[in-house]
């Protein structure tokens, strides 16, 4: 099978390219560094030539009100190029609960991306993942001042990027779902508790304070970021991931 990975040099894309190639597939890693620009469409026709499946793991450069325009433009170019190339399966990576957090610009933008895919000309699959372990440092940095980290108690069910890659690889090489697969880690944590575990494991000189108004996830109500009973539950636990040298 020939598969094009859009965003194939990033955190998820680079691992996905390696995983698919290791399974014997012909894989094109497409990104700005390889001459493919989703915002202009430059290089897309060449990158998609002969592809059976396209997996799009690109991300908006900002999380603000500009993000909907990014996804509207890039999905338009990608779907049109896919139709020209005869692509039979379009896959995107999205977020668990994305359509239940209209307060956040970025989540509205990702919901728009999903809607554009559903309305497009090609059969599709959507993989919705929970928050990545790898993003915890960034989440904490948004609300850190001096030696204090302020985090809300929003429930999250984080997942290792490698486990997201495994799910994407399985979906990309299977028939189109024309629907959604949720993937999540094995444990649910309040976000502030996850911060404390992170600080403790790394012996950082930081104090995590519960603050329901702090950071982006303060806008999230209830357990909408926690996967439902039909989700694919990944095996990697956060404590094990924290203790693994990288």
pLDDT (tens digit per residue) in 83-102: 999 999 999 999 999 999 98
> What pLDDT band is residue 56 in, cutting at 50, 70 and 90?
very high
- What is the C-alpha to C-alpha distance for residues 136 and 236, in angstroms, rounded to an integer? 15
Q: Tell me the percentage of the chain whose pLDDT exceeds 90.
A: 86
Q: What is the maximum span of the chain, computed from C-alpha positions, in angstroms?
A: 55
pLDDT at 245 over 80: no
Q: Go through 126-151 and write b for each residue having 16 or more CB atoms within 10 A of its CB, e for each that does not.
A: bbbbbbbbbebeebbeebbeeeebbb
What was the pLDDT predicted at 165? 98
What was the pLDDT predicted at 78?
97
Q: Model pTM?
A: 0.95
Provide mean pLDDT across the span 38-66. 94
pLDDT at res. 221: 87
User: What pLDDT shows up at residue 205?
Assistant: 85
Tell me how many degrees the CA angle 60-51-165 measures, rounded to the nearest 5.
Answer: 50
CA 129 to chain centre: 6
Q: CB-based burial of residue 116 (10 Å sphere; 0-12 exposed, 13-18 middle, 19+ buried)?
A: middle
Are β-strands 155-156 and 189-190 bridged in parallel, bridged antiparallel, or unpaired?
A: antiparallel
Q: What is the mean pLDDT of residues 225-239?
A: 96
* Average pLDDT, integer, range 171-199: 97
Q: What are 103-132's pLDDT values in tens digits? A: 899 999 999 999 999 999 999 999 999 999
CA 127 – CA 92 distance, rounded (Å): 6
Q: Which helix (H) or strand (E) holds 195?
A: helix 191-202
């Amino acid at each position: 099978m020939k598969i094009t990975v859009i965003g194939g040099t990033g955190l998820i894309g680079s691992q996905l390219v390696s995983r698919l190639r290791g399974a014997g597939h012909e894989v094109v890693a497409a990104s700005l560094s390889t001459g493919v620009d989703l915002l202009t469409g430059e290089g897309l026709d060449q990158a998609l030539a002969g592809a059976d499946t396209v997996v799009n793991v690109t991300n908006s450069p900002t999380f603000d009100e500009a993000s909907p325009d990014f996804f509207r433009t890039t999905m338009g170019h990608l779907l049109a190029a896919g139709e020209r190339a005869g692509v039979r399966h379009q896959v995107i990576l999205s977020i668990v609960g994305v359509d239940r957090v209209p307060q956040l610009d970025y989540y509205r933008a990702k919901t728009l991306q999903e809607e554009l895919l559903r309305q497009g000309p090609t059969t599709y699959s959507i993989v919705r993942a929970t928050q990545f372990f790898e993003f915890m440092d960034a989440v904490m940095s948004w609300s850190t001042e001096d030696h204090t980290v302020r985090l809300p108690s929003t429930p999250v069910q984080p997942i290792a990027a490698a486990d997201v890659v495994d799910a994407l690889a399985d979906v990309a090489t299977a028939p189109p779902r024309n629907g959604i697969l949720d993937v999540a880690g094995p444990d649910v944590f309040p976000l502030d508790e996850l911060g404390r575990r992170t600080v403790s494991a790394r012996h950082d000189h930081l104090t995590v304070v519960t603050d329901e108004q702090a950071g982006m996830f303060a806008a999230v109500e209830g357990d909408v970021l926690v996967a439902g009973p039909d989700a694919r539950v990944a095996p990697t636990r956060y404590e094990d991931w924290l203790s693994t040298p990288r």
